[in-house]
Amino acid sequence: MSAPEPRAARHLLSVADLDAAAVRRILDTAVEMQEVQRRQVKKIPTLRGRTVINLFFEDSTRTRSSFEIAGKWMSADTINITGKGSSTSKGESLRDTALTIAAMGVDAIVMRHGASGAAHQVARWLDELGTGTSVVNAGDGTHEHPTQALLDAYTVERRLGSLDGRHVAIVGDVTHSRVFRSNLLSLAMLGAQVTVVAPPTLMPSGASAWAERDGFTLSHDLDAVLAGEVAGGVPDVLMMLRVQRERMSGGYFPTPREYTIGYGLTRDRLAAFTAASPHGVICHPGPMNRGLEIAADAADAASSLVLDQVSAGVAVRMSVLYHLLASEEGASA
């Protein structure tokens, strides 16, 4: 039997790989995919005969499980590999690990890695060899997490309708957040106005020039933002980010209590937000540090979309895999 012909692979490494039309296609397809979740038998033959590897070098509950469920519900053969369970724990390089997996004839690698740019590098190696294996970035360091941004947009639109003209406040540890970076791109494509709120120590270097270039607003005062005292008025969406203590070496804020006082979505701030924006919604990519960046009352409020985001994660990732592996136009077309 002759070796298969090399084929061009489609990847989703960054929201920047997409244009507004491609984002809209993914979100529209996700609506259809979410119908599968409501069925008694959750199975469609869309990716029958395809093999998807979830290669995770960092811990994950939501992302890895939702990609696994997404693949299985579309009848793909889905296999999970963790860094601790792979030969990288014996000293094998990331390149050799990726090429070894691709050499087995898999169709897609969904990868999470602690190094920014890791998914891009793996895609480059695979493309150089013409393996035809697609790479999906499931989070790389502090760089990007494109499918999280897509599911965030999908979740908000299902509750509020179009994001065009909506005001979204992204609050918290933006320095270490790959979710923040992907959301900036997707929200801009969908016409939202964005305000980024963080203490000075957790605001990325060069943020002012970045904001001026890309058209978002910066603030260090969460209460002023909630009161509508910044451009865009009272937010329609509060997107709270996790304080990523595992990426911090200390010195970003004096104590957890002081962070909560200044930037946490406390019970009092929840009441103020609800009064000022009765239709407003709360998002959090998870996992949540309850009592630090978000109070339990806020996490469990009627306006909270946290569990809706989890549910949407499966539908959106089904859509992404479909457009990469089954659709003729592809996710980035």
Q: Which amino acids are annotated as binding site for carbamoyl phosphate, given as ranges?
A: 62-63, 112, 145, 148, 286-287
Distance separating alpha carbons of residues 260 and 258, to the nearest angstrom: 5
Instruction: Provide the terminal-to-terminal Cα distance of the chain, rounded to the nearest Å.
Output: 33
Return binding residues. 62-63, 90, 112, 145, 148, 178, 242, 286-287
For every residue of the chain, which 3-state class applies, written as one string? CCCCCCCCCCCECCHHHCCHHHHHHHHHHHHHHHHHHCCCCCCCCCCCCCEEEEEECCCCCHHHHHHHHHHHHCCCEEEEEECCCCHHHHCCCHHHHHHHHHHCCCCEEEEEECCCCHHHHHHHHHHHHCCCCEEEEEEECCCECHHHHHHHHHHHHHHHCCCCCCEEEEECCCCCCHHHHHHHHHHHHCCCEEEEECCHHHCCCCHHHHHHHHCCEEECCHHHHHCCCCCCCCCCEEEECCCCHHHCCCCCCCCHHHHHHHHCECHHHHHHHHHHCCCCEEECCCCCCECCCECHHHHCCCCECHHHHHHHHHHHHHHHHHHHHCCCCCCCC
Q: How many beta carbons lie within 10 A of that of residue 105, not counting itself?
A: 11
Which tokens is 259 given? 């962070």
Q: How far is residue 174 CA from its own chain's centroid?
A: 14
Return binding residues for L-aspartate. 90, 178, 242
* Number of residues that make up the chain: 333
